[in-house]
Amino acid sequence: MRFISVEAVSGVALLAAAAIALAWANSPWAGAYERLWHLKLGLGVAEYLPAHDLHFWVNDGLMSIFFLVVGLEIRREMHDGALSDPRVATLPIIAAVGGVVIPALLYVLINSDPAARRGWAIPTATDIAFAVGVLSLIGKDVPPALRLLLLTLAIIDDIAAIVVIAFFYSSGIAVGGLLIVAAGVLGVLALQCLGVQPALAYVLPGSVVWFGMLRAGVHPALAGVLLGLLTPATSAFGRVPRDRGARHAGAPPAERVQATLHPWVAFGIMPLFALANAGVSLQGLQLRAAAPLAVGAGIVSGLVLGKPIGIVLASFAAVRLKLCVLPTGVRWRHVVLVGLLGGIGFTMSIFIANLAFEDLPLLAAAKFAVLVASVLAATLGLLLGRAARPRPPV
């Protein structure tokens, strides 16, 4: 699947960007790093926006395109993918629920301070690019069904994160903003009814949806998800095979737009997000203080321990209750591997951390913990995957 191959390679770009950001933020040029992301960029609409520096445009603007690609993939999976067949989707759905609930509970148990507890959702996320990238490093002996299981679980995990952001990390909803969102949605639907094909025609109503969410108090990047779900997954030319549909002249709009944007997101926007947000100054860490230490401990334990425990226990319960069965070729050691790889939070975890904490010591501790936990989870997953590979006959 082209989506998996792009995600696998982009994990390397993400890792490189995160390493550069971390080194830059702790170098003699750390001041330049901070000044870069606080560079004012009004883009002609500054008077209408609450913030307009470069960091804002990366996190609230460009990440909308990231969420658009996520929304398009969800739309495709719901139409003719794993999420379209309840028998296939049951296991990753239940596993994803376990992988969200247990890390959140671990975090809350460790953090008693109300301010620190705002970060409960940070260890519930899974980074698709890193997780698929590590799985690809294990080798070709991995069962094909395992790759689909991991990808489907990560997509469902993204859906859960989107819901959490919308309901728990958005300010009070302003009705005026929702009216603007509705106007943008109507504009999209009107263009679709008129049979307008060029994707550029939808930029204006899509921008209206983004601006409306910003005004409504909902994180504007979520506009991408809404627009992705609104994109048709069928074509007047009939259904096209997924592995070549993006290159086919009659590919459905959802497939065509995703194929166009995905490389830009994977190799441009996501590494830029990592560069803008992974630059944690180690001098600014206050892990000796109670609250930052608890935040870090909650995130690391949630991602490294909570994720695999939740995913494995939920999967085991679902299979024992005969709600589903393990996919062909997948064994329980593979489910443990998926659980470990699910603990690679990175992109979405850092994104949620930015929403959860305004207090700089807590935010720095959270970002650093996400980096540590993601590296630990990736290392453990890689070691387990290599150890579980079938040995060649002597």
Dist. CA 333–CA 199, nearest whole Å: 44
Q: What is the 3-state secondary structure (H, E, C) of 245-300?
A: HHHCCCCCHHHHHHHHHHHHHHHHHHHHHHHHHCCCCHHHCCCCCHHHHHHHHHHH
Identity of the residue numbered 371: L
**Average pLDDT of 254-276?**
87
CA dihedral 347, 352, 353, 355 (to 10 degrees): 130
pLDDT band at 293 (very low <50, low <70, confident <90, very high): very high
Model confidence at 348: pLDDT above 70: yes
What are the Cα distances from residue 385, in Å, to 70, 121, 277, 326, 382?
A: 27, 27, 30, 18, 5
Whole-number Å distance between alpha carbons of 368 and 303:
13
**How does the average pLDDT of the chain come out, rounded?**
83
Rounded Cα–Cα distance for residues 310 and 289 (Å): 29
pLDDT at 4: 58
CB 334 within 8 A of CB 341: no
Q: Which amino acid is at 235?
A: S
The pLDDT of residue 227: 92
pLDDT (tens digit, 9 = 90+) per residue, 204-233?
999 999 999 888 877 788 888 889 989 987
Residue 247 pLDDT exceeds 70: no
Half-sphere exposure of 299 (CA within 13 A, CB side): 37
Q: Is 382 strand, coil or helix?
A: helix
Give the tens place of pLDDT for each residue, 109-163: 999 999 999 999 999 988 877 787 788 777 666 777 787 788 788 878 878 888 8
pLDDT tens digit sequence for 317-337:
999 998 888 887 888 999 999
Judge whether 64 and 224 are in contact, CB under 8 Å. yes
